Chain A
């Protein structure tokens, strides 16, 4: 059965219950889009270097309903990140938000089912912003997630609320018995002057293959502040397409850090829409890939309004047969005068079998702007290695030092200390292993 036919059958069976808040219409439209576009192939410019169509030849089960109890609190315990005692924990299992496993510690944070939000006081927000990412991700995968929106979550931070505990979002896929396709979805709204920290993490249980097609959309209001972290350290039997879409609708500050350490195939879409004057956005990324893994970071910084600042730095280390892809787009629309946009991508290739494809792309329609981008691909600096070795430091330690320093530019941007400590530990272990 071809992929579209399979999903068509699933969509026809799909009964999320009575229509609440007009989500059915959105699903229907999205499914229409999906049937037209299908799974993007390598002819799709945005998917030129990341081939996912072949994955769908494997049988992936799309769970219809949250299967309660498959992931036990014990399972979750093993997956929890350090410092979780002082966090708000939001747990998705196979793409469905689990109220029983999640724990909200901050009283000023509202987390409710999307259906409930769409039917209640947040109806306006949900109607306006759910699916906003589809304007940027024009492919079948984005539509596929929207078509099956169910068990999604709406996160709201009220006016001037500073969410004390960071939000740790765990996307758990239980592939212990079959291959699973999970499609978590969340919508977050940061009201005026609200502050929040968000961490997304992914884990797969079992040895079957998993495919996570996740979307998180975040709307940031006037004077709000968002710190967003995505940490990917999953097994090699996993595939991930993870979209984070941030729209700044008032002058605000956001910072997004994406750390990709492991996983079979990872595609990250990070969109930042600077949709108000005087917005500031910082995008950082670090990827360290080994084995046969594939990492693809696609970022879009869309400058819609004037006087915004964006800064982007992505660094990568590739080893073995891994492949890396970076595509950074900066759009500066005609009204967005006085935009300052910077972008840089640096890659270090450790083995002679890894490869990298990078495409830093600028599209500029305003003249009073300062935009630069740059990218480099190379090896470790031989002079640096020699300098250290001539001072009695072993080659291995020297390499380790140089690579740690290289990574620290990004790691220093992680402001959650417990998270930073954990990521640093992972990277040090990795370096130790790779360089021995």
Chain B
């Protein structure tokens, strides 16, 4: 039975990539939004 149990895939690198892209999108979104708020 236990032999059939699949190993969890190693997704640490994927997680870092997702967090990197996610942070970039959040930061640039708020930078653009701040620019919009700051201008008349």
Q: Verify that A and B bind, or say they do not.
A: no
Binding site for B on A (CB under 8 A): none
Binding site for A on B (CB under 8 A): none
